[in-house]
Amino acid sequence: MKREFLILFVLTIFLSAKSAEYVIPNSGVLSDSTRLKTTVIQAAIDKASNEGGGTIVIPKGVYLSGALFFKPNTKLRLMEGAVLKGSDNIADYPLIPSRMEGKSIYYYAALVNAYHEDSFGISGPGTINGNGMKFWSYFWAYRDSMKLIGKSATNLEVHRPRLLFIWGCNNVTISNVKLCNSGFWTTHLYECNDVLIEGCDIRSPFRPVKAPSTDGVDIDVCKRVTIRNCYISVNDDGVCIKGGKGPDAQKRAENGIVEDILVENCTFGESHGLLTLGSECIHARNITVRNCKVESNTPILRLKMRPDTYQIFENITVENITGKCGTIIEMRPWTQFFTMEGSKEKPFGIVRNITISNIKADCHEFGEMNGNKSDQVSNIVFKNIIATAKDAELKCNYADVKIENVTVNNAPLVVKK
């Protein structure tokens, strides 16, 4: 009996520690503040972790902060009216080992960082605001200055922080929170398993200043990720599948497969694509997008075929999509930042087992499937689709494409080689 009581007592203390709340003082920050609160918030995170865990609570008000690093057994909650606002000074984001554009490199920390912390969570209903205007403006100015001297600019030359970077974490939940105005990618998951992103509002602007490369959710070497009941409208890809790039990317331990991804019951506003694979992706499989609405002029499914990277995209299902889009499918060569890095390899892509069904959409074009010359494409199915389009043809170079009950402008779909 004494032993059972002791176990119950220890368990009670453990659960109390786990559920402890660490509320950030709100004195002086009920309105927008120019004073950094990084030290105060980080101290609360450290204290919570040292005391066995707990939730960092941001109350109503605007809290300006640089990079924050969540520790084991800590979570973040933003109350109604709470805004965690990112500093627009890159010096407030340390340069550390990181992951960007399919490479393991040193890069700047995000506003919210969690490394190898299982059961990490972020909840709302408050807002995490990247305050990215200064970073966006500098990006465009730098790119224009490079054009004047006949050079191109890469994303990494202009130093910008992401909003969230979650690395090596399992059982992650991001729920009912507003994520906006990131300086760079909005939500970056790397080497994470069992992630739920639910009820979130994820945005970055196209005007008056475009927010470049502010992808909604980047899934990078992850398994079992669900994105559900979210609104996503960003100035790049809505959901982007990553995992590595380069002629030897498939051999590098830091790269890998993305699999078992579900996107459902979401609405997509303006973006560069609802679901995109390929800018940095070596292998993606078992991906489902279903029961979504699209309100943009961009592709529902976008496949970027890199001639410098071996790629496999397989077992992809897109179903029950309604609304307005640019194209239903877009598959094209993608040569942005192309480099063979001195390799004599001859990379090619494999695209197989894709089904797009039960679509009702107004499109600019029905779509295109024309990758690189050596790409291998098989078992592509379009079925039960009703579309209107200015360009009513599917431009396609591949034989193993099945069309079942597909009409465009009240006529059967025409496939044009």
Answer whether 43's CB lies under 8 Å from 12's CB.
no
**Distances from the Cα of 338 to the Cαs of 245, 349, 361, 371, in angstroms?**
10, 15, 34, 15
Sign of the C-alpha dihedral computed for residues 51, 55, 59 and 64 taken in this order: positive
Distance of CA 153 to the CA centre of its chain: 22
pLDDT score for 34? 81
Identify the bridge partners of residue 174 per DSSP, sorted by sequence position.
122, 197
Rounded Cα–Cα distance for residues 123 and 150 (Å) = 46
pLDDT score for 188? 98
Rounded Cα–Cα distance for residues 391 and 395 (Å) = 10
**Distances from the Cα of 265 to the Cαs of 3, 283, 319, in angstroms?**
49, 25, 11
Rounded Cα–Cα distance for residues 386 and 114 (Å) = 44
Answer whether 325's CB lies under 8 Å from 293's CB.
no
pLDDT score for 13? 35
Distance of CA 339 to the CA centre of its chain: 24
pLDDT score for 152? 86
Tokens encoding 111: 């506003």
Identify the bridge partners of residue 321 per DSSP, sorted by sequence position.
292, 359
Which CATH number is correct for 2-416, 3.40.190.10, 3.40.50.300, 2.60.40.10, 2.160.20.10?
A: 2.160.20.10
Q: What is the DSSP letter of 72?
A: T
* Residues 306, 310, 314: CA angle, nearest 5 degrees: 95
Extended strands (E) in 265-416: 267-268, 273-277, 283-295, 301-305, 311-325, 329-333, 349-369, 376-396, 401-408, 411-412, 414-416
Distance of CA 225 to the CA centre of its chain: 11
**What is the block-wise mean pLDDT of the chain (417 residues), using blocks of 10 residues?**
36 46 76 82 96 95 96 96 97 97 96 97 98 97 94 91 98 98 98 98 96 98 98 98 96 97 98 96 98 96 97 98 98 90 93 98 97 97 98 96 98 94
Backbone angles phi, psi at 281, to 5 degrees: -150, 120
Nearest to 359 by CA among 391, 325, 331: 325
Q: Please tell me the pTM assigned to this model.
A: 0.94
pLDDT score for 3? 40
Rounded Cα–Cα distance for residues 238 and 232 (Å) = 6
Give me the helices (H) in 94-241, please. 133-148
pLDDT score for 25? 87
pLDDT score for 2? 41
Rounded Cα–Cα distance for residues 310 and 312 (Å) = 7
pLDDT score for 153? 87
Nearest to 86 by CA among 109, 115, 56, 59: 109
Rounded Cα–Cα distance for residues 378 and 401 (Å) = 7
Domain ranges (residues) in the chain: 2-416
Backbone angles phi, psi at 4, to 5 degrees: -65, -40
Rounded Cα–Cα distance for residues 200 and 183 (Å) = 18
